[in-house]
Structure 1
């Protein structure tokens, strides 16, 4: 991995073990790229590789006292890197699994709420909206849409002007459209969000 002779490496590791930051810098420069190549073959992710290599060198610095007992630094470095890489990959897999389980649970919960609500039945949703209309708008809407009466017939039956019938229909349809859009957009937005 590095061009250091065995004796030079022992001296360098000894200096690192004593807390020599310059020696640690040399060790870092000597092994960073090679260790990165090793880790990259496992992770296939450059950002993750960089993070792991830095973590490995941080571990080496924190545990620098143990460097004097290391017979083969290259083997030691690769074992530390391999173990840390596999631990990171396990953690990522665990987090991904937990996230997927959370999403699955949230979607099931959302589905059960939608199935149990009036939103899942368009006719019931429309009926809810109609019930919220002011009395005159509701009556005009019901006579027009449910009983199929013409605007002129509604005006005559309710003893109001044709323009008032038209105004009530416009307002009723606008409210119904807004109400339905709000509830449908909520469902469309809510479910994919998880």
Structure 2
């Protein structure tokens, strides 16, 4: 009982620090819960990349809501409720897009012409490079380090001397801008498939 009370007190202190913008408190909570959130997400989404995205989304939401959390309620319950909602939204979106693609005949058993596929891929790569080139300087740096050098958000944060949350924000804005650019040039990418850029 004393152990439980001590844990509750420590967590309440962490949440108070978090509400005061403590990145140290955020890091402690992140380190304690990220692994389980990742495993739960992986179990349902069957994709390490998508599972990592859920982890990032959940903790980004924690940071944005840090001043509204109740210190007398366990943060674990809050995190897993947000995780559950995130997973449900993703699974619904994937299911709906899969049905739409099937209905439009985009999922076919016939093989596509190889030459045509290569040409389309080259055209897509050219447009993607143009989309990246029009990004603001910092977004370009973050995107390039993440996608071409395969660095983690923490590694990028250290290299650019900014916080991992700022890296995530730059990345999200870069991806949104790229998606808009590609859409304007006739390449519509479903949200569930857009993850290949993430």
- For the pair shown, which has the larger CA radius of gyration, 1 or 2? 1
TM-score normalised by L of structure 1 = 0.49
Between structures 1 and 2, the one with greater helix share: 1
| TM-score normalized with structure 2 length | 0.48
